[in-house]
Amino acid sequence: MLDDARAAAARAARESYGRLLAFLSARSRDVAAVEDALAEAFRNALDGWPEQGVPREPEAWLLTAARRRLSDQRRHERVRDEAASALLLAAQAAQDCAAEGAAFPDDRLKLLFICAHPAIDAGARTPLMLQTVLGLDAARIASAFLVRPSTMGQRLSRAKAKIRDARIPFQVPEAKELPARLDAVLEAIYAAYGRGWDDLAGLDPQVTGLTEEAIQLGRMLVQLAPHEPEVLGLLALMLHCEARYAARRDASGAYVPLMQQDTSRWSLSAIDEAESLLRQAWAVGQVGRFQLEAAIQSAHASGARAGRTDWESIALLYEGLVTLSPSIGALVGRAAAMGEARGAQAGWHLLEAIPRAAVANYQPYWAVAAHLLKAQGLVEQAREAYELAIGLCEEPGTREFLRRQRP
């Protein structure tokens, strides 16, 4: 329980930090300078709040601490004068609305759109979001994304310089460009989830990946844009996956495939929330990639609980996904579902049709290939495919699982 309280305090510190950073950046346009100004106050909040409790007005607390530091710095002329002036002005505006008792303005949606702006290098978008909106440190982000920390640092600085120098406007895009821009935001959040999912099972139980952070971003986005079906779809998708978090490993840490999971270890509250989000999304009547992916997970969830999975429906959903966005992942997923629905040979035909060059080192392809070849009784080819699926695997639990499957 105590741990829960501590985690909540740390979460509150990140929430307030993100709000404040968004508010100040939207006015000064200098994200890096805002980060510098808030860094010490944020560190103190992360360290102090779990012990002392969250202050009644967390943003005001951070702001006061940061302002004090800014004024000091300015006196010592250690910050560029222009940036400091803009910041202090913004800080004054923030202080004013705190004094009026008004709710602290939330500019985080604008910040999310800035982070996923087309002018920002695609590889920097998710890291930028994690760093600015949630205050994650660059080293942790670099580890999750398998990038050299110094490179990640440079990538992030470049992105922030771009925002400042190109004067990218802090605003929610207009209706006509909203879908495409929103898509980039969703992609970036999902990329954080994917990274978290991948290294979920690392041997170190401390490494929990970024799934929690991604879900936090997803929740934030639902709060900020509650009527966008794809926003709802993305959160539903992540919650469905997260619901099975505990059941994905057995006591020894080995991977347990969905069909063999102990469904009593699933989080029913997460599933219920996901289902309700998905219903709201469908009601809008505008199908999208994340809604389809969430629907696939939903079908898996109800199938596994009923002890009978409707693979025909899942294959159909994949068909829709492939039509909408034919990623390698969707193509491989469709082949796997078809293999279950219509037999291994049907699945294999779809798999074989994927250009080999695109999947040569794509682990899920070889895992599905191995399974479908084994099911067709093609033992030699299956062994080869298992060997590659194991060799390309980053994750010990999955490796072990595949080793046990190998004929």
Partner 1 sequence: MQYTLMFYLDADEFEARTDPARKEAFWAAFMPYAKALFNAGIVVGSAGLAPPSKATTIRHDHGQRQVQDGPFALTKEQLGGFFIIDVPDLETALEWAARYPAGPGGAVEVRPNLPAMVR
Q: Residue numbers of the site for partner 1 (CB under 8 A)?
A: 146-148, 151, 203, 360-361, 387-388, 390-394, 396, 399, 403
Shortest CB 184 distance to partner 1, Å: 21
Closest C-alpha to 193, from 262, 135, 258, 145: 145
Shortest CB 150 distance to partner 1, Å: 11
Q: Which residue has the tokens 């057995």?
A: 250
Closest C-alpha to 42, from 15, 22, 23: 15
Measured between alpha carbons, how far is 218 from 233 in angstroms, rounded to an integer? 10
Question: By C-beta, is 175 or 203 nearer to partner 1?
Answer: 203
Measured between alpha carbons, how far is 392 from 202 in angstroms, rounded to an integer? 15
Question: By C-beta, is 205 or 285 nearer to partner 1?
Answer: 205
Question: By C-beta, is 74 or 403 nearer to partner 1?
Answer: 403
Q: Can you name the residues that pair with 249 across neighbouring β-strands? A: 255
Shortest CB 146 distance to partner 1, Å: 5
Amino acid sitting at position 301: A
Measured between alpha carbons, how far is 397 from 200 in angstroms, rounded to an integer? 10
Number of other CB atoms surrounding residue 123 within 10 Å:
15
Please, are residues 135 and 75 in contact by the beta-carbon 8 Å criterion? Answer: no
Question: By C-beta, is 342 or 399 nearer to partner 1?
Answer: 399
Shortest CB 139 distance to partner 1, Å: 15
Q: Which residues are CB-contacts of 382 (< 8 A; sequence separation ≥ 6)?
A: 370, 373, 374, 406, 407
Please, are residues 74 and 84 in contact by the beta-carbon 8 Å criterion? Answer: yes
Measured between alpha carbons, how far is 67 from 11 in angstroms, rounded to an integer? 22
**Torsion angle in degrees (nearest 10) through CA of 19, 21, 22, 24:** 120
**R_g of the chain computed on alpha carbons:** 23
Amino acid sitting at position 212: E
Residue 181 structure tokens: 């821009």
Shortest CB 57 distance to partner 1, Å: 43
DSSP structural state of residue 238: H
Question: By C-beta, is 70 or 370 nearer to partner 1?
Answer: 370
Shortest CB 29 distance to partner 1, Å: 30
Question: By C-beta, is 320 or 396 nearer to partner 1?
Answer: 396
Shortest CB 386 distance to partner 1, Å: 8
Shortest CB 343 distance to partner 1, Å: 28
Question: By C-beta, is 85 or 361 nearer to partner 1?
Answer: 361
With H, G, I as helix, E, B as strand and everything else as coil, classify residue 114.
helix
Maximum distance among all Cα pairs of the chain, rounded to whole angstroms: 77
DSSP structural state of residue 204: -
Measured between alpha carbons, how far is 37 from 28 in angstroms, rounded to an integer? 12
Shortest CB 251 distance to partner 1, Å: 18
Question: By C-beta, is 151 or 171 nearer to partner 1?
Answer: 151
Shortest CB 195 distance to partner 1, Å: 12
Question: By C-beta, is 44 or 143 nearer to partner 1?
Answer: 143
Shortest CB 391 distance to partner 1, Å: 3
H-type alpha helices, 29-177 = 31-52, 58-75, 81-99, 108-115, 122-134, 138-145, 149-165
